[in-house]
């Protein structure tokens, strides 16, 4: 459970959360999976666990922030482990407003995501089988660059 997400032939394996023996099967949640998200373009002044947790909260439910080899939340990118609702499209970026400065766009890539739809951004199917309507020459909004 700690080293996921797992996939089998590009299909995501959703592992239920730890349960208690008396939980009803209907109450189990199969819609959320933990992913490591890489945050790129993070300003040096954001190298702080609380700030990074706030950024992660815009992506999903924060489980862990990787402090990196130096232990100071610095590096070419910052890794945040978040629990995501896999029924929703992945975020491509987080926009952070900074007082007296231009907004900062933190670009996101996802580690070990299988079978991402490049049309609607939802995990679990390809753009060829996407149910979202497409027009003849529409451009895909997501791409392989979403994968770390
Ligand atoms: Zn789709």
Structure tokens at 38: 């890489």
What is the 6 CA–ligand 1 centroid distance (Å)?
20
What is the 123 CA–ligand 1 centroid distance (Å)?
8
For residue 6, is pLDDT > 80? no
What is the 3 CA–ligand 1 centroid distance (Å)?
26
- The helix or strand, by DSSP H or E, that contains position 80, with its residue range, turns out to be strand 77-85
In the predicted model, what is the mean pLDDT of residues 82-103? 93
What is the 51 CA–ligand 1 centroid distance (Å)?
32
What is the 140 CA–ligand 1 centroid distance (Å)?
10
Query: What would the DSSP string read from start to end of 2-54?
Result: TT--EEETTEEEPPPPP--TT--GGG---SEEEEEEEEES--GGG-SHHHHHH
Q: How confident is the model at residue 1 (pLDDT cuts 50, 70, 90)?
A: low
In the predicted model, what is the mean pLDDT of residues 91-100? 92
User: Which pLDDT tens digit goes with each residue over 106-145?
Assistant: 999 999 998 899 999 999 898 888 887 766 667 889 999 9
- The helix or strand, by DSSP H or E, that contains position 49, with its residue range, turns out to be helix 49-57
For residue 5, is pLDDT > 70? yes
What is the 37 CA–ligand 1 centroid distance (Å)?
20
Q: Which residue has the tokens 């190298």?
A: 47
For 13, 42, 52, the CA distances from 6, given in Å and listed in that order, are 5, 28, 25
Phi, psi (5° rounding) for residue 51?
Answer: -65, -45
Is 48 in a helix, a strand, or coil?
Answer: coil
Q: How confident is the model at residue 88 (pLDDT cuts 50, 70, 90)?
A: very high
What is the 7 CA–ligand 1 centroid distance (Å)?
18
Phi, psi (5° rounding) for residue 26?
Answer: -65, -25
Is residue 1 classed exposed, middle or buried when 0-12, 13-18 and 19+ CB atoms within 10 A define those classes? exposed
What is the 111 CA–ligand 1 centroid distance (Å)?
19
In the predicted model, what is the mean pLDDT of residues 55-83? 94
What is the 142 CA–ligand 1 centroid distance (Å)?
10
**pLDDT of amino acid 137:** 66
User: Which pLDDT tens digit goes with each residue over 22-52?
Assistant: 778 777 777 888 999 999 999 999 999 999 9
């Amino acid at each position: 459970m700690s080293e996921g997400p797992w996939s089998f032939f590009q299909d995501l394996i959703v592992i239920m959360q730890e349960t208690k023996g008396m939980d009803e099967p209907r109450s189990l949640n199969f819609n959320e999976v933990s992913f490591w998200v890489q945050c790129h373009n993070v300003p040096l002044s954001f190298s702080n666990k609380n700030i990074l947790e706030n950024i992660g909260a815009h992506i999903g439910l924060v489980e862990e922030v990787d402090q990196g080899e130096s232990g100071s939340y610095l590096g070419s990118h910052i890794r945040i482990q978040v629990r995501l609702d896999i029924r929703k499209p992945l975020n491509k970026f987080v926009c952070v407003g900074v007082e007296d400065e231009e907004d900062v766009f933190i670009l996101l890539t996802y580690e070990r995501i299988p079978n991402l739809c490049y049309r609607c951004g939802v995990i679990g199917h390809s753009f060829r089988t996407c149910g979202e309507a497409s027009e003849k020459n529409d451009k895909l909004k997501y791409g392989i660059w979403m994968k770390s």
